[in-house]
Structure 1
Amino acid sequence: MIRLNAFFEVKDNASVETVKKLGTELVNESRKDDGNISYDLFLSSTRPLVMMFCETWKDEEVLKAHMASAHFTRLVPEIEALTKNGLKLEKFEF
């Protein structure tokens, strides 16, 4: 299995609510993808502009399919445009 943690910080002039809305849409659509074990969005309780996607996938094949999906290719660039430095990805295999 693969665990991905994608951290990002919302731009000062961007709406956290807008990012949460886009992120929630990405979560809801991604949970329907084949091979998805879990997919969540978290807002830091210590740094209010910091958020994290936490996702678990069956294997690399299903992860690649997810990354090519219509919802991923549409929503991730929209979210990244509202971040200070894009998404910082940490990948773990277990």
Structure 2
Amino acid sequence: MSQDLRLVATLDLKEGSWEKIAAVVKECVEQTRQEDGNQFYAAHFEQGNHNRVVFIEHWASQKALDFHLQTAHFQKLAKTVEAYLEHPMNLLFLNEIKE
């Protein structure tokens, strides 16, 4: 049985970059929410900071996440934002604490 997983991805953008990537972020969010195995996928700003975009994700399995990483919409997002990042994206993989 595969275990679901949670992921927080943080993008620290160069000053004034949000407007240049907004459309591709919104497109990726919309299309990702339609993927099999996606439980939750949303992009957020850090409160008061439009230069930090935080994706909160919940996947049914590693297989579902691996599929997502190969989709055209994710590849487009990754390629587009690369030029606007202050430093590489930070990924935090989480496991829920269960009793």
Q: Of 51, 58, 61, which aligns to 1:59?
A: 61
TM-score (norm 2): 0.84
Q: What displacement does 1:19 show?
A: 2.2
Q: Specify every segment of 5 or more residues in structure 2 that has no aligned partner in the other structure, as ranges.
A: none
Residue 49 of structure 1 aligns to a residue whose secondary structure is strand
Identical aligned pairs, as a percentage? 27
Quick one: distance in 2 between partners of 1:47 and 1:70? 28
Quick one: distance in 2 between partners of 1:75 and 1:62? 18
Q: Specify every segment of 5 or more residues in structure 1 that has no aligned partner in the other structure, as ranges.
A: none
Q: Of 39, 46, 54, which aligns to 1:44?
A: 46
Q: What displacement does 1:28 show?
A: 0.7
Quick one: distance in 1 between partners of 2:75 and 2:91? 16
- Equivalence for 1:17: 19
Structure having the higher Rg: 2
AA in 2 matched with 1:6:
A
Count of residues in Structure 1 that have an aligned counterpart in Structure 2: 93
Residue 83 in 1 paired to residue 95 in 2? Answer: no
Deviations 1:8-62 (A, max 9, x none): 11112x4312222221111111111110001000011233311101111001011
Indicate the RMSD between aligned Cα atoms, in angstroms. 1.4
